[in-house]
Amino acid sequence: MQERKPKNIFIQGPIASSFIADSIQKHSSKTDIGGHSIFLGQVRADTIGEKKVSSIEYTTYEEMAIEKMYTIREDIFAKYPLTCMHVYHSLGKIAAGEICLFVFTSSAHRKAAIDACEETVERLKAELPIWGKEMFEDETYTWKENK
């Protein structure tokens, strides 16, 4: 098995749809892949009280998050027959409607890619030290908390 090193998963600003398209395109040379699974997280304009969220400002404890993501990646590769996995998370201010999370798994057959993608999303939401400040249109804010 190839050795995997901890990778930086963070992107400053939103994840562009062209970045996602390029990422898909890059896999056309890997002809042992039969299925991809993609999860995209989008900033939702929640209404809290009377106010509407206009953006989320993401921060992280980067060194710890990268180490933790490495552990999750190793666990997922040990559990599912994946060809590859890519994870990107935004930092900084991401407007409602923009993409802030991109998880991309590939395998020979669909089930491994789908299950691995779901488990990776669940684990990173629970285990990565990332925080989100939900900014309202009037410049006030509240801190988001994963459920």
Q: Which residues bind other proteins (CB under 8 A)?
A: 41, 58-61, 63-64, 67, 89, 100-101, 121, 124-133, 143-146
| Tokens read off for 113 | 């890619």
Strand partners, 70: none
Nearer to other proteins, 113 or 130 (CB): 130
- Say if CB 134 and CB 58 are below 8 A apart: no
> Residue 124 CB, nearest distance to other proteins (Å)?
6
Report residue 61: phi and psi, to 5°.
-100, 90
Report residue 14: phi and psi, to 5°.
-70, 160
> Residue 1 CB, nearest distance to other proteins (Å)?
26
| CA dihedral of residues 119, 61, 22, 82 (deg, nearest 10) | -30
Nearer to other proteins, 6 or 35 (CB): 6
94 burial type by CB count under 10 A (0-12 exposed, 13-18 middle, 19+ buried): buried
Nearer to other proteins, 32 or 145 (CB): 145
| Tokens read off for 94 | 């991401």
Nearer to other proteins, 60 or 83 (CB): 60
Nearer to other proteins, 13 or 27 (CB): 13
> Residue 35 CB, nearest distance to other proteins (Å)?
23
> Residue 52 CB, nearest distance to other proteins (Å)?
18
> Residue 99 CB, nearest distance to other proteins (Å)?
11
Between CA 145 and CA 134 the distance in angstroms is: 10
